[in-house]
Amino acid sequence: MNLPNAQCARPITRPTTPIRNTDPRALERTPHLRAIEMAKTMQDIAASSGAATFKDLVRAGFTSAEIIEFGTQAQQMAAEWKSESRKAGHDNLADMVMKVKQPVPNRPPMTVDLIASTPFFEAWGRYCASRAALMLDPWTPQRERCICVLQSFLNFLPLLPAERAKLTMAAEQTLPKIPVQNGRALS
């Protein structure tokens, strides 16, 4: 199999700069390099102060003409990048402590090796419901029930006993304390 010299001699090269549109009247498909820089700057400013304003971009070294020309494109890119860089699907122990202290039914604590199932979500829902019931009607047996329901939920998670104990203690600290005297709750 002989190949012509023309095919072998030319190495395939890739462009180092983005390919621009050939038709000047067509909509621009590739972002301008200055728009990319502006989008990165917008993300940095938004992470530190909440939102990137015109003054912030001027302080960062962009001219008003650049902001007017590339601002919309940079905002769109920054928003796309923000949605692409979502947090991983698992929580570390500090996140789990926060979720146990302030439970939300549709956001259970998740670990790396967890296989989520219907009983897992039902157990989390039972914990959220028992905690809400305790907050509405603080009662000593209700408090104990809430802790037991949490422990049964934690059995679904692949955690060490020390981590389970830490999560249980964190939840207990946020539950209302019901003073008891002679076996009866004081009102």
Could you read off the pLDDT of 114-154 as tens digits, one per residue? 778 899 999 999 999 999 999 998 888 899 999 999 999 99
Phi, psi (deg, nearest 5) at residue 180:
-125, 135
pLDDT for the residue numbered 148: 96
Closest CA to 101 of 119, 133, 127, 139: 127
Q: How confident is the model at residue 97 (pLDDT cuts 50, 70, 90)?
A: very high
Kindly state whether residues 169 and 115 are assigned to the same domain.
Answer: yes
Q: Are strands 184-185 and 180-181 parallel, antiparallel or unpaired?
A: antiparallel
Is residue 1 one of the residues assigned to a domain? no
Q: Is the pLDDT confidence value at 65 over 80?
A: yes
Kindly state whether residues 66 and 101 are assigned to the same domain.
Answer: no
Q: CA 58, 68, 79 angle in degrees (round to 5)?
A: 85
Q: Is the pLDDT confidence value at 62 over 70?
A: yes
Kindly state whether residues 73 and 141 are assigned to the same domain.
Answer: no
Write the DSSP symbol of residue 181. Answer: E
Residue 133: CB atoms within 10 A of its CB come to: 14
Kindly state whether residues 128 and 162 are assigned to the same domain.
Answer: yes
Number of domains in the chain: 2
Q: Which of 39, 68, 86 is the last residue of a domain?
A: 86
H-assigned helices in the chain: 5-9, 33-49, 54-59, 64-84, 93-101, 118-136, 140-154, 161-174
Q: Mean of the per-residue pLDDT values for the chain?
A: 82
Could you read off the pLDDT of 160-183 as tens digits, one per residue? 999 999 999 999 999 988 777 666
Kindly state whether residues 60 and 114 are assigned to the same domain.
Answer: no
pLDDT for the residue numbered 184: 63
The tokens describing 30, both together, are: 């590739």
- Tell me if 39 sits within 8 A of 77, measured CB to CB: yes
Kindly state whether residues 119 and 170 are assigned to the same domain.
Answer: yes
Kindly state whether residues 149 and 104 are assigned to the same domain.
Answer: yes
Kindly state whether residues 81 and 102 are assigned to the same domain.
Answer: no
Is residue 3 one of the residues assigned to a domain? no
Kindly state whether residues 76 and 107 are assigned to the same domain.
Answer: no
Residue 153: CB atoms within 10 A of its CB come to: 25
Kindly state whether residues 155 and 122 are assigned to the same domain.
Answer: yes
Lowest mean pLDDT among 44-53, 140-149, 150-159: 44-53
Is residue 44 one of the residues assigned to a domain? yes
- Domain extent at residue 43: 29-86
Is residue 13 one of the residues assigned to a domain? no
Is residue 12 one of the residues assigned to a domain? no
